[in-house]
């Protein structure tokens, strides 16, 4: 018998790369790693643990990965809705962001982490401001994150110039490079808010640090026109022409792509963070997901910031991601429920260059979620994957583990004082006068 740190038995688990349903399942964990995943009777023959958790009505799934967000923007949730993108940004979001401080970003990030953990997200990719504060919160609450300081041509609320934001990126990378859950990325904001020189520098830094470059690409029609005016080509062709796509890139949105752009993504090192709810809410359009998948592009899923979603619930995002391409192309098979779940798990792990994430298999890190299936809207259950994508909500999640440690246990947040956090959020927002114009 091999002694392990923890054994979780559940009514069912989605095991392996293919999310195969195993009834009466168990997962054994040692040193934050999955050492067994399969039928519980076999687990009992081979493994023992002083800590056994039983969830007979639970479905064990890989932790969900939110591949694109701006976590602290939860502070602006619902502040302004139903407006054209540029009016929303210029009249509401930018003025609110101009007052951000390191402390506010820490508060917003903790609120976002509480929401994400509660809704089954174990990892997130964050591009924002004052990322030093984001890293500290992530370290403390136990989530896994890829963090990047936003790099702009102009002064951000955090740094006077893009160059200083890149210096901060290098400093953050040095500080966190040995951390088991935090990875620092290089994040030029967009091809129209980071000039060619800054983009080239950002790309050079990402290559030097062997890390991912995260940016927004082809989100709106306006961007296509603007980049066309400046560079006489589309944003994808432009980024390709200056060498940015020659090392790994995670490109958010990618709504306005044609056949040529998709071919470039497929040939180069570009993965896509598809953000369907934000794209719909900001009236940006619908990304050609089916076309990208057929071309072999790795497509992941993100909520974007809560100000344009307005939540960070990846279950809702999967539901939308599965339905949207059916409506767009009148094709019911464009993205199935399994395709949507893979975008939020294994495809995201691939984009993040982490083969040991996104699935419940021996050798993978123990980032796990239990969904309580004993609920009226989840029964009867013929197909657990379809049920997760089309019926389950984040609020059906009862337990969340990252690196084998509980962050949510039987519906209770373990690493966050939720009551105190909510009090602080309400008090701080009232003091700032956010939302009252
Ligand atoms: Zn974004």
Cα(363) to centroid of ligand 1, in Å? 32
Cβ pair 136, 102 in contact under 8 A = no
Cα(251) to centroid of ligand 1, in Å? 10
Q: How confident is the model at residue 153 (pLDDT cuts 50, 70, 90)?
A: very high
Cα(328) to centroid of ligand 1, in Å? 22
Q: Is pLDDT above 90 for 150? A: yes
Cα(32) to centroid of ligand 1, in Å? 31
Mean per-residue pLDDT, 171-175: 98
Q: Is pLDDT above 90 for 436? A: no
Q: Is pLDDT above 80 for 435? A: no
Q: Is pLDDT above 70 for 382? A: yes
Mean per-residue pLDDT, 112-134: 98
What pLDDT sits at residue 89? Answer: 86
What pLDDT sits at residue 437? Answer: 53
Q: At what angle do helices 162-176 and 196-208 cross, to 10 degrees?
A: 10
Task: Kindly report whether the peptide bond that precedes residue 380 is cis, defined as omega within 30 degrees of 0.
Answer: yes
Size (the chain), residues: 437
Cα(305) to centroid of ligand 1, in Å? 6
Tell me how far CA of residue 111 lies from CA of 104, 108, 203, 302, 310, in angstroms.
11, 5, 31, 17, 14
What pLDDT sits at residue 406? Answer: 98
Cα(70) to centroid of ligand 1, in Å? 6
Structure tokens at 12: 């069912």
| Per-residue pLDDT reduced to its tens digit, 321-336 | 999 999 998 999 999 9
Contacts of 112 (CB under 8 A, 6+ apart): 69, 71, 72, 73, 74, 124, 306, 312
- Closest by CA position to 116, among listed 313, 273, 266: 313
Cα(273) to centroid of ligand 1, in Å? 9
**∠ CA(397), CA(312), CA(212), 5° rounding?**
110
What pLDDT sits at residue 433? Answer: 82
pLDDT more than 90, % of the chain: 95
Domains belonging to the chain, first-starting first, are: 2-62+364-403 (2.30.40.10), 64-351 (3.20.20.140)
Q: Is pLDDT above 90 for 119? A: yes
What pLDDT sits at residue 78? Answer: 93
- More confident site: 86 or 195: 195
What pLDDT sits at residue 85? Answer: 81
**∠ CA(33), CA(35), CA(41), 5° rounding?**
140
User: For 77, left (φ over 0), alpha (ψ -120 to 50), or beta?
Assistant: beta
Mean per-residue pLDDT, 230-256: 98
Cα(380) to centroid of ligand 1, in Å? 37
Torsion of Cα atoms, 100 then 104 then 106 then 110, to 10°: -120
Please state the separation of Cα 17 from the chain's center in Å.
19
Cα(28) to centroid of ligand 1, in Å? 37
What pLDDT sits at residue 82? Answer: 93
- Phi then psi for residue 400, to 5 deg, are -140, 130
Ion ligand 1: protein residues whose beta carbon lies under 5 Å: 304
Name the CA radius of gyration of the chain, rounded.
21
Mean pLDDT computed over every residue of the chain: 96
Could you tell me the maximum CA-CA distance found in the chain, to the nearest angstrom? Answer: 67
What pLDDT sits at residue 53? Answer: 97
Q: Is pLDDT above 60 for 295? A: yes
Q: Facing residues of 188 across strands?
A: 151
- Phi then psi for residue 204, to 5 deg, are -65, -40
What pLDDT sits at residue 434? Answer: 76
Residue 193 is given by DSSP the state T
Mean per-residue pLDDT, 7-36: 98
**Alpha-carbon span 192 to 215, nearest angstrom:** 11
| Per-residue pLDDT reduced to its tens digit, 65-116 | 999 999 999 999 999 999 888 788 889 998 999 999 999 999 999 999 999 9
- Closest by CA position to 242, among listed 273, 215, 272: 215
Cα(74) to centroid of ligand 1, in Å? 13
Mean per-residue pLDDT, 265-277: 96
């Amino acid at each position: 018998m091999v002694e392990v740190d923890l054994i979780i038995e559940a009514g069912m688990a989605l095991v392996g790369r293919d999310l195969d349903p195993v009834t009466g399942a168990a997962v054994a964990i040692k040193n934050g790693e999955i050492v067994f995943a399969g039928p519980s009777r076999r687990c009992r023959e081979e493994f023992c643990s002083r800590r056994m958790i039983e969830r007979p009505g639970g479905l064990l799934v890989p932790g969900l990965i939110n591949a694109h967000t701006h976590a602290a923007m939860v502070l602006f949730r619902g502040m302004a809705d139903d407006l054209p993108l540029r009016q929303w940004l210029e009249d509401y979001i930018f003025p609110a962001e101009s007052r951000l401080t390191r402390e506010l970003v820490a508060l917003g990030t903790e609120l976002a982490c509480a929401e994400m953990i509660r809704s089954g997200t174990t990892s997130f990719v964050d591009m924002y401001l004052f990322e030093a504060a984001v890293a500290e919160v992530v370290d403390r609450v136990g989530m896994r994150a890829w963090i990047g300081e936003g790099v702009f041509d102009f002064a951000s609320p955090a740094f006077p110039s893009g160059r200083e934001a890149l210096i901060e990126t290098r400093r953050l990378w040095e500080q966190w490079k040995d951390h088991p859950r935090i990875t620092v990325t290089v994040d030029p904001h967009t091809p129209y808010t980071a000039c060619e020189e800054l983009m080239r520098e950002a790309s050079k830094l990402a290559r030097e640090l062997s890390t991912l470059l995260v940016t927004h690409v082809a989100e709106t029609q306006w961007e296509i026109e603007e980049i066309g005016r400046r560079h006489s080509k589309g944003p994808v062709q432009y980024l390709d022409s200056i060498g940015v796509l020659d090392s790994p890139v995670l490109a958010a949105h990618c709504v306005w792509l044609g056949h040529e752009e998709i071919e470039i993504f497929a040939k180069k090192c570009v993965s896509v963070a598809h953000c369907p709810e934000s794209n719909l809410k900001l009236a940006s359009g619908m990304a050609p997901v089916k076309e990208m998948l057929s071309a072999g592009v790795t497509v992941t899923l993100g909520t974007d910031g809560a100000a344009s979603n307005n939540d960070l619930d990846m279950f809702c995002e999967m539901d939308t991601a599965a339905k949207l391409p059916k409506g767009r192309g009148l094709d019911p098979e464009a993205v199935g429920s399994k395709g949507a779940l893979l975008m939020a798990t294994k495809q995201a792990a691939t984009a993040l260059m982490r083969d040991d994430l996104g699935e419940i298999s021996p050798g993978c890190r123990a980032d796990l979620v239990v969904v309580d299936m004993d609920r009226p809207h989840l029964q009867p259950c013929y197909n657990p994957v379809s049920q997760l994508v089309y019926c389950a909500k984040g609020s059906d999640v009862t337990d969340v583990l990252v690196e084998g440690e509980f962050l949510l246990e039987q519906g209770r947040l373990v690493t966050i004082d939720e009551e105190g956090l909510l009090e602080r959020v309400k008090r701080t927002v009232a003091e700032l006068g956010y939302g009252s114009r």
